Amino acid sequence: MQGEYFILKISSLFLGSLLFSFLINRIFLKFSKNLGIRNIDDKVIRWNTTSKPAFGGISFFIVFLLVLTQYQIFFPNQYSPIDTRLIGILVAASIGFLVGLADDAFNTNPLLKSIAQALCAIVLIATGNSICVFEAEWMNYGLTFLWVVGLMNSVNMLDNMDGITTIASIFALIGMLTVIVFNKTFESSYFVLVLGLIGALLGFLFFNWNPSKMYMGDTGSQFLGVVLAALSIKFLWNHSAIEYNATSRQFLLPILAFIVPLSDTLTVVINRLSKGKSPFVGGKDHTTHHLSYLGLSDQSVALLVAGLGIFSTVILLIALSITNWSHLFTILFAAYALVVFVSLFLTTKPQLFGKEPKHDENEQNTPEIN
Q: How confident is the model at residue 44, as a pLDDT?
A: 45
Q: Which of these, 135, 128, 57, lies nearest to 97 by C-alpha position?
A: 57
- Distance between CA atoms of residues 71 and 225, nearest Å: 23
Beta bridge partners, 286, equal none
Q: Which of these, 207, 195, 144, lies nearest to 170 by C-alpha position?
A: 195
Check: CB of residue 179 under 8 Å from CB of residue 233: no
Q: How confident is the model at residue 94, as a pLDDT?
A: 94
- Distance between CA atoms of residues 326 and 252, nearest Å: 13
Q: Which of these, 274, 368, 275, lies nearest to 44 by C-alpha position?
A: 368
Q: Which of these, 258, 30, 31, lies nearest to 157 by C-alpha position?
A: 258
Residue 265 Cα to chain centre, angstroms = 12
Q: How confident is the model at residue 224, as a pLDDT?
A: 96
Write the single-letter amino acid at 320.
L
Q: Which of these, 36, 216, 220, 226, lies nearest to 116 by C-alpha position?
A: 226
- Reading the chain (370 residues) residue by residue, the pLDDT tens digits are 566 767 777 787 788 788 878 887 777 676 555 444 544 444 444 555 556 677 788 889 998 998 888 777 766 665 555 688 999 999 999 999 999 988 877 777 788 889 999 999 999 999 999 999 998 999 999 999 999 999 999 999 998 888 999 999 999 999 999 998 888 777 678 988 999 999 999 999 999 998 888 888 898 999 999 999 999 999 999 986 444 457 899 999 999 999 999 999 999 999 988 888 877 776 788 899 999 988 899 999 999 999 999 999 999 999 998 888 889 999 999 999 999 999 999 998 876 655 655 555 545 444 554 4
Q: How confident is the model at residue 43, as a pLDDT?
A: 45
Question: How many Cβ atoms sit within 10 Å of the Cβ of residue 197?
Answer: 26
Q: Which of these, 2, 94, 95, 64, lies nearest to 192 by C-alpha position?
A: 64
Check: CB of residue 203 under 8 Å from CB of residue 17: yes
Sorted by sequence, the CB contacts under 8 Å of residue 90 that are 6+ apart come out as 68
Task: State phi, psi for 355 to the nearest 5 degrees.
Answer: -115, 145
- Distance between CA atoms of residues 325 and 248, nearest Å: 9
- pTM higher than 0.75, yes or no? yes
Instruction: State the SS3 of 67-123.
Output: HHHHHHHHCCCCCCCCCHHHHHHHHHHHHHHHHHHHHHHHCCCHHHHHHHHHHHHHH
Neighbour-count burial for 14-29, b at 16+ CB within 10 Å, e otherwise:
bebbbebbbebbeebb
Q: Could you give the residue ranges of the DSSP H alpha helices within the chain? A: 2-30, 56-74, 84-106, 110-126, 137-158, 164-183, 189-208, 217-232, 247-257, 259-274, 287-293, 298-321, 327-346
Check: CB of residue 29 under 8 Å from CB of residue 213: yes
Q: How confident is the model at residue 42, as a pLDDT?
A: 47
- Distance between CA atoms of residues 289 and 213, nearest Å: 20
Q: Which three-class secondary structure state does DSSP give residue 52?
A: strand
Q: How far is CA 316 from CA 91, 311, 331, 333, in A?
A: 29, 9, 14, 9
Q: Which of these, 284, 226, 232, lies nearest to 253 by C-alpha position?
A: 232
Give, to the nearest 10 degrees, the angle between helix 56-74 and helix 217-232: 40
Check: CB of residue 136 under 8 Å from CB of residue 275: no
